[in-house]
Amino acid sequence: MPVSNHDYLRRILTARVYDVARESELDFAPNLSARLNNRLYLKREDNQPVFSFKLRGAYNKMAQLSKDQLARGVFAASAGNHAQGVALAARRLGTRAVIVMPVTTPEVKIDAVRAHGGAAVEVVLAGESYSDAYRAAIELGAARGLTLVHPFDDADVIAGQGTVAMEILRQHQGAIHAIFVPVGGGGLIAGIAAYVKAVRPEIRIIGVQTEDSDAMARSLDAGRRVELTEVGLFSDGTAVKLAGEETFRLCREHVDEILRVDTDALCAAIKDVFADTRSMLEPAGALAIAGAKQYAVRENLRNQTLVAIASGANLNFDRLRFVAERAEVGEARETLFAVTMPEERGSFRRFCGLLGTHSITEFNYRIGDPTHARLFVGIQTRNKDETATIVSAISAGGFEVLDLTHDELAKLHLRHMVGGRADLAHDELLYQFDFPERPGALARFLNALDPAWNISLFHYRNHGADYARILVGIQVPPQDRPAFTDFLARLGYTYRNESENPAYRLLLRAD
Point out the catalytic residue in the list 24, 43, 52, 54. 54
The enclosing H or E element of 470 equals strand 467-475
What residues have CB less than 8 Å from 354, skipping those under 6 apart? 393, 394, 396, 397, 399
**Cβ(91)–Cβ(118) under 8 Å?**
yes
Helix axes 155-171 and 245-254, enclosed angle (nearest 10)? 40
Assess contact for 238 and 213: CB atoms under 8 A: yes
Question: What is the separation of C-alpha 375 from the centre of its chain, rounded to a whole number of angstroms?
Answer: 30
Rounded-to-integer distance, Cα 238 and Cα 311, Å: 11
d(CA 480, CA 24): 59
Q: Which amino acid is at 347?
A: S
320: amino acid identity, one letter: L
Q: What is the largest CA-CA distance in the chain?
A: 82
Q: Is the dihedral of CA 385, 389, 390, 392 positive or negative?
A: positive
User: CB–CB of 124/143 below 8 Å?
Assistant: no
What is the distance of C-alpha 401 from the center of its chain? 30
- Distance, CA of 68 to chain centre: 39
Which helix (H) or strand (E) is 163 found in, with range? helix 155-171
Give dist(CA 58, CA 43) in Å, integer. Answer: 19
> Under a CB-based contact definition with an 8 Å cutoff, are residues 102 and 129 in contact?
yes
* Closest by Cα among 437, 487, 435, 486 to 458: 435
Pair 216, 205: CB distance under 8 Å: no
Cα–Cα distance, 192 to 45 (Å, whole number): 13
CB proximity list for 162: less than 8 A, separation 6 or greater: 8, 11, 12, 15, 190, 191, 192, 194, 195
Report the distance separating Cα 202 and Cα 8, nearest Å: 18
Which residues is 497 bridged to in the sheet?
Answer: 431
> What letter does residue 226 receive in the DSSP assignment?
-
* 54 among known catalytic residues: yes
- Identity at 340, one-letter amino acid code: T
- Of 235, 311, 347, 456, the catalytic one is 311
Helix (H) or strand (E) holding 319: none
Bridge partners, 372 (sequence order): 342
Give catalytic residue positions.
Answer: 54, 311
